[in-house]
Amino acid sequence: MSKSFHPPKRTLMGPGPSDVSPRVTAAMGAPTIGHLDPAFVGLMDDIKGLLQYAFRTKNKLTIPVSAPGSAGMESCFVNLLEPGDKAVVCQNGVFGGRMKENVERCGATAIMVQDDWGKPVDPNKVEEALKANPDAKLLAFVHAETSTGARSDAKALTALAHQYDALSLVDSVTGLGGIELDVDGWGIDAIYSGTQKCLSCPPGISPVSFGERAVDVIKNRKTKVQSWFLDMSLVMGYWDGTGGRTYHHTAPVNSMYGLHESLVMLAEEGLEKAWARHAYHHQALAAGIEAMGLRFVVDQEYRLPQLNSVTIPAGVEEAKVRAALLNDYNLEIGAGLGALAGKVWRIGLMGESSCKTNVLLCLGALDAVLTGMGAAINSGRAVAAANAVYKG
């Protein structure tokens, strides 16, 4: 007979999910109400407004898709692309590859712009691709590559897309709430994110936002969107406040409670302060990592403060290190993904996880475990280096 599950209490410093505030888990555990209850409809409106704040947009079609980030990605592609369309897709990590899959499954063609993993997307290559493909409907790229920790210049890339009359479609799953993002200021046409990164909410929901140009494209489609569940022309009828709500699917009510609370917390802190906090604790972590003698995969200029890809010392079995951190310290850090599997660790400082106690725990535990395994690191220096940053 199966028994009730009682999860261990972990500190989450992987690539997401990040630590979730007790305020958010408590909100998720509140009593369920109906998805058409007037009280829930009010909550939906509040969530839309809070997401507009977080994305810095006035886009009316700014909503949480009722499924994880992968579905948010898919909702952007399937609504904007039709069979025969062409899209320029930038790949500098795992998620550009997933974008390619999405484009092709829409019956469209993906023109790939490749950059090394750990590097940002190169605007020059993008411009060449856009110039060579004047019929490209959109430019898709990842703002914050979760698989490497590299930040690309979403503002410059969006401007290029517009210069060549293409829409910009942006993955900011790991960016939202952690680094500067200005959907309206930069003119981003479609963007998706996730809840389990810098919003510090459990995984399962994907905030998206579509600008006017993108909505026009959706409204003027020749073919139906291939996904009924993700068809924005239908989803809008449920999330749009005008003229009553039309039932489309049953929204994940309690997950929306959690998302709402996490967004309220973000608004309480203030968006710019949250960005600054992510930058600050990254500095301390970086000082410790470098004092240990480990290196970052991404150059400082392009490094995401919330996702730190760190090289593994020679001769160390990386999975054993992660297992020791998990078993002896209840600390989760991430493995490498795709081309970086087995080559790096990914240390997340996202949302609630971006705090002094986590930085010190991570450095102290990593130092102890690596030293215990006889790894070639500078033992005993990491925590002091981080504390020096905190002392100013």
Which of positions 19-58 make contact with a copy of itself (CB under 8 A)? Answer: 19-20, 23, 25-35, 37-40, 43, 46, 49-50
Distance (Å, whole) CA 328 – CA 318: 15
163 binds a copy of itself per the rule CB under 8 A: no
Q: Which residues of 222-233 are buried (b: 16+ CB within 10 A; e: fewer)?
A: eeebbbebbbbe
Pick the binder of a copy of itself from 55, 117, 238, 257 (CB under 8 A).
257
Tell me the β-bridge partners of 303.
150
Q: How far is the CB of 46 from a copy of itself (least distance, A)?
A: 5
| Residue 222 in contact with a copy of itself, rule: CB under 8 A | no
Stretch touching a copy of itself by CB under 8 A, among 137-145, 153-161, 246-254, 304-312 = 246-254
- Which residue, 266 or 377, has its beta carbon nearer to a copy of itself? 266
Phi, psi of 45, rounded to the nearest 5 degrees: -60, -40
345 binds a copy of itself (CB under 8 A): no
Rg (the chain; Cα; Å): 21
Neighbours of 45 (CB within 10 A): 12
Taking contact as CB under 8 A, which single stretch among the options 177-185, 196-204, 355-363, 375-383 is the one that binds a copy of itself?
Answer: 196-204
**Residue 236 or 385: which CB sits closer to a copy of itself?**
236
**CA distances (Å), 1 to each of 7, 129, 163, 272, 338, in order?**
18, 58, 62, 50, 38
Residues 6+ apart with CB under 8 A from 194: 16, 68, 69, 72, 173, 174, 176, 203, 205, 206, 207
Q: Rounded to the nearest whole angstrom, what is the least distance from the CB of residue 4 to a copy of itself in the complex?
A: 6
Which of 56, 101, 119, 329 contacts a copy of itself by CB under 8 A?
101
SS3 assignment, position 9: coil
Decide: is 253 part of the binding site for a copy of itself (CB under 8 A): yes
Q: Pattern of binders to a copy of itself over 62-81, x per CB under 8 A? A: ----xxxxxx-xx-------
- Contact (CB, 8 A) for 360 and 368: no
Considering the complex, state which of residue 95 and residue 210 has its C-beta at the smaller distance from a copy of itself. 95
**Euclidean distance between CA atoms 86 and 108, whole angstroms:** 6
Instruction: Decide: helix, strand or coil at residue 312.
Output: coil
Q: Does the footprint of a copy of itself cover residue 278 (CB under 8 A)?
A: no
Taking the complex as a whole, how short is the minimal distance between the CB of residue 132 and a copy of itself, in angstroms?
26
Rounded CA separation 331/168 (Å)? 37
Write out the binding residues for a copy of itself, residues 298-337 only, by CB under 8 A: 326, 332, 337
CB of 224 to a copy of itself, least distance (A): 6
Q: Which of 1, 124, 135, 300 binds a copy of itself (CB under 8 A)?
A: 1
Shorter beta-carbon distance to a copy of itself: residue 287 or 350: 350
The yes or no reply on residue 84 touching a copy of itself (CB under 8 A) is no
Angle between helices 318-329 and 356-372 (to 10 degrees): 120
